[in-house]
Amino acid sequence: MDAAYDIAMEHTEPEADSGTSVVAVEDVHKAFAGHKVLDGISLHVARGETVAVLGRSGTGKSVLLRLIIGLETPDSGSICIHGQDIAGLAMDRKGEIRKRMGFLFQHAALYDSLTVAENVAFPLEHHRRDLSRSERGDRVMQLLAEVGMERAVDKMPSDISGGMQKRVGLARALALEPEILLLDEPTAGLDPISSGEIDDLILKLQRERQMASIVVTHDLHSAKAIANSLALLDQGKVVIEGKFEELQDSDIGFVKEFLKQS
Amino acid sequence: MSDRQPIVVAGTHPTLAGQQTISIPTALEFVGRTANGFFEWFGDLGIFSWKVLCAALTPPYEWRELVRQLDEVGSMSLPLVAAAGSAIGIVISMEARYSLSRFGAKSMFSTTLVYSVIQVMGPIMTGLIVSGRVGAGIGAELASMKVTEQIDAVEASAINPYRLLAATRILACILMLPLLTLAADACGLLTGWFAQAMVEPLSFHQFVESGFKGSKLNDFLPPTFKTAVYGLIIGLIACFQGMRTRGGAAGVGRAATNSVVLASLFVILADVVLVKFILVFFP
């Protein structure tokens, strides 16, 4: 096995009370302009559990994450976060739930007019007004140190590489100490070494913080390294869900083909 | 034979090769699509306005962003507005002197200049200049944020983008337009007087005294403060166009252009309506 992925063996198992899902997606359908993207998808994630959502491009993996954080509304079905359906809520009520979630966008989506430190400070400035300026500064430095970006504090997003942007995006996603972490293609477009570093970072954070995480990726190695279980999507449905070994043992043609090509 | 009956485009014969025809269903489809798009745009604008209003009226208020936008809309537009106001003052001064002399009404020069600048040219010119500078700026900035998922990132950070990005910009436009208009008026009057004083002796005191003689506050306040409505139009349309953008760099370009064009168009239309409104309610 590749050394970069040895850390995968250090998976922490989800907590024993995982019967209560932190994230519960039930029979969700979503279509855009008549094109069906998600067709009755269900997914449950418990505290401390990491689920990797795999699949070909355009199978609705990112849409699933956007639905979970409420950036899109499902056509039917329910998405419960801590037992509360996020779909029908007003924006400010959704905001209360989102404070407990962190989202890493595929292209990091850093605010290009703010420095690295200001990007990480952004959620704190809006939601932790109880913190003094220096306390916020210390927290930002701590988060940036956690992702190994403490030396890029004053740089602009355009001045750092894609991998570094993802690290900063991860620090921003962790700023409010979320209980749920959503990662959209955290290693896409990165070289193998940077990918391995991001995977190690995610695993470290999982061990330390025990968050419920959903990682959307089409990088099977990365998924194997960071996730407790894998869900494979095809044509808007979960084809199979389970540990990597279960996917390997599957007789389903699409699963075999996907594993072979990955 | 097709059930679509061709209609002949003006002056051509149906049998001539290469002549253009438009079938009635196609023409109806086009009209239907255009009307649909028109009403859809207004419907979306109404929903957007409601969301912004709800966000603006409920805490937490984004004071820091508002101050930043006041500076962006006000201070940054001031040089351009002042320059345009100054030019308008000189032009009106020269034209008025020539025209009034022809009709033997030279004594009306100061009054003509004051009323032309404050009631007519100052407000509409400021509205159109800010439509161009600020409308394009807001449209492009928000559109760029939209296509790079930065607005989604704001929302994912549990911050209401309608409150943080739209309400602050719209409010800044509403508050700054009347102040910018006052600045444009002041520059126009000063340069207008100066242009006149260069030709024949006229002290500033004389100019002000004869220009504002017999005038009421109602003559000047409504035309100045009507620009708050222009501010609302500019801010609202630019934020709306920016935040609904799709389609990468081309989408950003379209959003900026549409913001300027639509904001300018609606400012001109609003001017017509507001002038009538002022004449009726502030005679």
Using a CB-CB cut-off of 8 Å, the residues of chain B touching A99 are 158
Separation in Å, CA of B82 to nearest CA in chain A: 28
Q: Where are the beta strands (DSSP E) in B128-268?
A: none
Separation in Å, CA of A260 to nearest CA in chain B: 33
Measured distance CA(A47)–CA(A29) in Å, rounded: 25
**What is the identity of the amino acid at B183?**
A
Nearest chain B alpha carbon to A172: B157
Measured distance CA(A205)–CA(A231) in Å, rounded: 21
Nearest to A216 by CA among A65, A59, A29, A21: A65
pTM greater than the 0.90 cutoff: no
Q: Which of B149, B163, B164, B246 to mutate to test the interface with A (most CBs of A within 10 A)?
A: B149
Measured distance CA(B283)–CA(B277) in Å, rounded: 10
Asked if the C-beta of B68 comes within 8 angstroms of chain A's C-beta atoms, the answer is no
Separation in Å, CA of B281 to nearest CA in chain A: 40
Q: Which residue has the higher pLDDT, A261 or A125?
A: A125
Separation in Å, CA of A81 to nearest CA in chain B: 14
Are A185 and A217 in contact, with CB atoms under 8 Å apart? Answer: yes
pLDDT tens per residue, range A204-225 = 888 888 889 999 988 888 888 8
CB neighbour list of residue B3: distance below 8 Å, 6 or more residues apart: none
Q: Do A107 and B149 touch (CB under 8 A)?
A: yes
Nearest chain A alpha carbon to B61: A126
Q: Do B51 and A91 touch (CB under 8 A)?
A: yes
Burial A31-46 (b: 16+ CB within 10 A, else e): eeeeeebbeebebbbb
Burial A62-78 (b: 16+ CB within 10 A, else e): bbbbbbbbbbbebeebe
Q: Which domains does chain A have, with CATH numbers?
A: 21-100+182-262 (3.40.50.300), 111-177 (no CATH)
Looking at residue A256, its pLDDT comes to 85
Least confident of A117-121, A188-192, B186-190, B267-271: A188-192
DSSP assignment of B117-144: IIIIIHHHHHHHHHIIIIIHHHHHHHHH
Q: Has residue B270 got a pLDDT over 90?
A: yes
Question: How many A/B residue pairs have CB atoms within 8 Å?
Answer: 59
Nearest to A201 by CA among A219, A175, A228, A174: A174
Backbone φ and ψ for A230, nearest 5 degrees, come out as: -120, 140
Nearest chain A alpha carbon to B149: A109
pLDDT tens per residue, range B211-251 = 888 888 888 899 999 999 999 999 999 999 999 998 889 99
Q: Has residue B282 got a pLDDT over 90?
A: no
Measured distance CA(A123)–CA(A135) in Å, rounded: 14
Q: Which of A68, A81, A94, A103 to mutate to test the interface with B (most CBs of B within 10 A)?
A: A103
